[in-house]
Copies of this chain bind each other. A is one copy, B any other.
Amino acid sequence: MVKKSLFDAWAHLLNLSKLKKGETVAILVGDITHPEHLAAVKSVLTMQGHVYYVMELGEAPSMGLAGDSTAAYAPTALASNPVAIDALTKSSFIVDLMGMYRGGEQKQILDAGSRILLVKEGPEIFIRMIPQQEDKARVIEAVELIKKSQVMQVTSEAGTDLVASFGKYDYLAQYGFSDEPGHWDHSPSAFAAAWPTEESVQGRVVLNAGDVILPFKYYLQTPINLDIKDGYITSITGGFDAKYLREYMASFNDPEAYAVSHLGWGLHDRAHWTGLGMYDKRQTNGMESRSFAGCFMFSTGPNIEGGGTRETECHLDIPMLDCTVKMDDVLVVEKGQLVKR
C-alpha cells in the first residue's frame, strides 16, 4: 500500500512538472529504484488517468560502487539500446528511477523535448524536501546571476580562495521538478551551478570539519587543502581525511579525475546540513547535503554533461560550510548564509 504522504508528494511533484493528459510518461527502473517510489508514481499516474509505461533495461556494463549510483559516473545498458532511447525521446515526461548516464544519450533525449526527473533519494527525505514552486524562482534568479557575472570568487576563514569564470559551458538550474521541454532535474534539490571555463579556475579550496564529500557521505573531521591550478587540483594535503580523498581519487588512475567540475550554491530552505548525520550511507543519496541553503558546492571530474570534453568515472560533489561567494560584486553567500535580497 502506498503511503498517503508519499502519494501526495508525487502528486504534487507531477503537478509542479505540469504533467498533462495526453502526455506519455516513461518510468525508467533499475537496480537502485526504490520500490515505494515506483509504486507511488504508478499509483498517482493510474489514479489520475495518465498514460505511462515502465521500462527496465539489462545489466549495466560496469558495476556501481557501494550501491551508490553517484559514486561511478558511467554508461548504463541504455547506451546500447537504440529502441529504448528512441522510446524515451518520444515520451513527454520521464521519471528516471534508474539513473541515466548524464554524459551520454541523455542529451539526445532532452534535445527531443522530453522532460526528465531523476529521483534517487529515499522516500523519507524526498517527502521532507518535496519541491515548491517558489524554489524555481530562487534557483532561476541565481542562475541568471551566474550568467551575467564575469567572475565567481569564493573565500572562507578556513583559507579557501578560489576564482572561476563561466560562459563557455552550460548552467545547471536544479529546482526539483521538470516543467519545461528539455529540462532535466533531480528531485529533491535546489541549487544553482555552472561548469566553469576550464582554465579559469584558480586558487585554493580548504575543506573543513563538517564539510561533506559525496559519495563518501560522512562529515570531514580534519581540514583538507586543495591547490587548484588551471582548472585542476594539483595537490591534496592534510591529515586522515586528505589521505583518504587522495587515495580514493588516485584509485581511478585518471588525470581527469582532478579536474574541477560544476561550481554553485545551495538554495533549499527546508534542507538541513545536519540531515546527513542521521542516516546510514545506504539510506541516502546525499541530496539534502547538496542542497541546503548557503552551502557552496565544489565538485570535481567530468564536464561532458555541461558541454565539455572531460569524461571520467570519478565525480565528487563537495558541499562546503561557511564559505563566502561573490559573483562579481554581488555577495550571494556570506559565511555560509544565503544573502537575502
Interface residues of A (CB under 8 A from B): 1-5, 7, 24, 26, 39, 42-43, 45-47, 50-59, 63-68, 71, 77, 80-84, 86-87, 90-91, 124, 127-128, 209-210, 215-216, 218-219, 221, 239-240, 243-244, 247-248, 251, 272-274, 277-283
Name A243's contact: one of B58, B64, B210 (CB within 8 Å). B210
**One of B46, B124, B240 near A221 (C-beta < 8 A):** B240
Instruction: Give the Cβ gap from A95 to chain B, nearest Cβ, in Å.
Output: 13
Contact between B273 and A247 (Cβ–Cβ < 8 Å)? yes
Q: Within the assembled complex, what's the spacing in Å between the Cα atoms of A221 and B218?
A: 13
Closest 7 CB pairs of A and B: A66-B278, A87-B87, A209-B240, A54-B56, A1-B39, A24-B83, A248-B274
What are some 24 contacts across the A-B interface (CB < 8 A)?
Answer: A1-B46, A2-B43, A4-B47, A7-B47, A24-B81, A24-B84, A42-B58, A46-B59, A51-B77, A52-B57, A53-B55, A66-B124, A66-B283, A67-B124, A82-B90, A83-B87, A86-B86, A86-B87, A209-B240, A216-B277, A247-B273, A247-B274, A248-B272, A251-B274
Q: State which of B46, B82, B124 has its C-beta within 8 Å of the C-beta of A58.
A: B46
Known contacts A43-B1, A272-B247: does B210 contact A63 (CB below 8 Å)? no
**Distance (whole angstroms) from the CB of A129 to the closest CB of chain B:** 12
| Residues on the B chain within 8 Å of A71, using CB | 278
- With A83-B26, A83-B90, A124-B66 already in contact, the answer to whether A215 and B278 are too (CB < 8 A) is yes
Q: Which residue of chain B lies nearest to A26 when distances are taken between CB atoms in the complex?
A: B83
Cα distance, A52 to B1, chains bound together (Å): 15
Does A216 contact B278, Cβ atoms closer than 8 Å? yes
Q: How far is the CB of A8 from chain B (nearest CB, A)?
A: 9
Name the B residues within 8 Å of A240 (CB-CB): 209-210, 219, 221
